[in-house]
Structure 1
Amino acid sequence: MSEEGLRRIRVIGIGSGDPEHVTLAAVRALRTCEVFFLLDKGARASELTRLRRDLVAEHAGPGHRVVEAADPRRDRSPASPARYQAQVVDWRHRRADLYERLILDELEPGRTGAFLVWGDPALYDSTIDTLEEVTARGAVPFTYDVIPGVSSVSVLAARHRTTLTRLGRPVRIAPGRQVAGAGLAEGEDVAVMLDVGAALTAHRTEGWWMYWGAYVGTPEELLVSGPLDEVADQVLELRAAARERHGWIMDACLLRADGPGPRPAGAGLRGPAG
């Protein structure tokens, strides 16, 4: 089959919540798509679906369709590392089943569909891996491309008026479970993009600085910065209250060895954003 007759999928990064962080490339990509696949994560996260719908309504071309489907559920209760890995692998296989069905049943050959991904799908997201699994199965031929977006950690650093990297030093990007299990290495900087609570529950290390943010880029934005051992409990309380209030939470933090660096934002709480 020629590429012209293939289904086409566009994986579009839409930023972390601020409509102004949707790039011009993303807007142009949205206008080329005829079918938008939105995954429903349940009533408690309905705001996420609404935000995607609003984005499509504002930028998509005439005659487009929106197809919603329930995102496969997975057990998010604490588990051993091996059990957690098995849970995630199983969830990704079930997601691949769903993506395969959506592309086959809802997108005609030669047409273009889209998955809208928070932040930057090329940085920290499973959509690309899921589409690769569907491709490997060979049941539905398609091509896809990826439009990068503004990541939550980029917004986090900008909000705190700092940088992710420092002169001559790398930054490690890791989930909180990994940080909680492996610990914090002397002299490193770590951007935690998932399970932030696990990292903060495990560590109150002196000499480290934390920049934390939740719902960055939205009117509900919360920001805290300060010595890790002094503000970790405050952040954990804020996370719990925010999750209860919204039904979901998206947060990230930058853990920085040796203090805040040359341009600290100053300790304390800021938010919601104005």
Structure 2
Amino acid sequence: MRTVLLIGVGAGDPDYVTVQAVKALNRVDVFFVIEKGAEKDDLIELRRRILSDHVPGGGYRVVEARDPERERVGLDGVAYRATIEQWHEDRTDIYERLVGGLGDGEVGAFLVWGDPALYDGTMRILDRVTARGSVAFETEVIPGVSAISALTAGHRIPLNRIGEPIHITTGRRLGAALVDGALPEGFDNIVVMLDGDLTFTKLSEPDVTIYWGAYLGTADEILVAGPVLKVAGEIESVRAEARARKGWIMDTYLLRRG
């Protein structure tokens, strides 16, 4: 039986790799690397460094594949879901071919940025491969340090406050939930991921603090915090400069009322 490992390697710092992950790395026969364009080559380089540091004996193969392009659409929910569905189907074709290339009894692995269970689609794509029934394999998941953990550690704050819930969402969903520039009632601690529209700039509520971070855990890490009405412009400027310099950006933030 083939085995596929989803190994969380943390949000950027190679030292985020856990002891459990190191043990898993040394079981692997084939590492699958999904390329996301030349501008993100440093993400591939980080994976190479992890393998060099933690699997010094080598003896493994690396198989690369290009991530399919996803059509970008506006905020229409039906169109958005249709493009995501097609993108997932295209990725399933690629993952099915990769996993099907494993020999009987071999172990393959995807090195997942952050944690495989938090805002990463690899697990869902492998479920789709399983549902097709053409390739038999078992899946194991090794958790990693998430971007949220790296964000709160960088700002030296706890994620939770006593007796208050935490909400994790996207910029798209947050934008749809704002009421005249204010957060919804009862949503006092909101972690926002995947916000290319900079939804925090649409806030008009004075009693909200933002804790923002980009390239978390890497040498390029940027952290900004303060009342959102005072620092939104700074974050927008810093973010634009960093994205122009590197060609890509990965960022997340926590909005906290009160």
Report if aligned partners of 1:196, 1:253 keep a CA contact under 8 Å in 2. Answer: no
Deviations 1:109-134 (A, max 9, x none): 11000001111111221111111111
Report if aligned partners of 2:73, 2:80 keep a CA contact under 8 Å in 1. Answer: no
TM-fit CA distance, 1:198: 3.6
Are residues 1:185 and 2:180 paired? no
TM-fit CA distance, 1:212: 0.2
Match of 1:48 among 9, 26, 43: 43
Partner of 2:207: 207
Query: TM-score, structure 2 length as denominator?
Result: 0.94
1:77–1:54 CA distance, 2 compared to 1 (3 A): farther
Are residues 1:253 and 2:232 paired? no
Are residues 1:19 and 2:18 paired? no
What is the root-mean-square deviation of aligned Cα atoms in Å? 1.3
Query: TM-score, structure 1 length as denominator?
Result: 0.88
Are residues 1:163 and 2:168 paired? no
Match of 1:74 among 70, 76, 83: 70
Structure 1 residue identity aligned to 2:51: V
Deviations 1:183-215 (A, max 9, x none): 221342100121254422432432100000001
Query: Could you tell which deviates more after superposition, 9-18 or 184-193?
Result: 184-193
Structure 2 residue identity aligned to 1:246: K
Report if aligned partners of 2:68, 2:87 keep a CA contact under 8 Å in 1. Answer: yes
Return structure 1 stretches of 4+ with deviation > 3 angstroms: 76-79
Partner of 2:29: 34
TM-fit CA distance, 1:13: 0.3
CA distance in 2, matches of 1:197, 1:204: 16
TM-fit CA distance, 1:62: 2.7
CA distance in 2, matches of 1:244, 1:43: 14
SS in 1 for 2:237: helix
Report if aligned partners of 2:39, 2:247 keep a CA contact under 8 Å in 1. Answer: yes
Match of 1:87 among 74, 83, 87: 83
CA distance in 2, matches of 1:92, 1:201: 31
Report if aligned partners of 2:168, 2:191 keep a CA contact under 8 Å in 1. Answer: yes
Deviations 1:210-266 (A, max 9, x none): 0000011111000000001111121112111111111111110000011xxxxxxxx
Are residues 1:219 and 2:215 paired? no
Report if aligned partners of 1:15, 1:118 keep a CA contact under 8 Å in 2. Answer: yes
Deviations 1:134-167 (A, max 9, x none): 1011000000110000001111001111111110
Report if aligned partners of 2:198, 2:236 keep a CA contact under 8 Å in 1. Answer: no
**Structure 1 unpaired stretches of 5+:** 1-5, 259-274
What count of residue pairs does the alignment treat as equivalent?
Answer: 252
1:96–1:213 CA distance, 2 compared to 1 (3 A): same
TM-fit CA distance, 1:77: 5.2
Partner of 2:93: 97
SS in 1 for 2:211: strand
Structure 1 residue identity aligned to 2:245: R
SS in 2 for 1:122: coil
SS in 2 for 1:16: coil
Deviations 1:169-189 (A, max 9, x none): 011000111001112213421
Report if aligned partners of 2:243, 2:249 keep a CA contact under 8 Å in 1. Answer: yes
Report if aligned partners of 2:14, 2:46 keep a CA contact under 8 Å in 1. Answer: no
The sequence identity of aligned pairs, in percent, is: 48
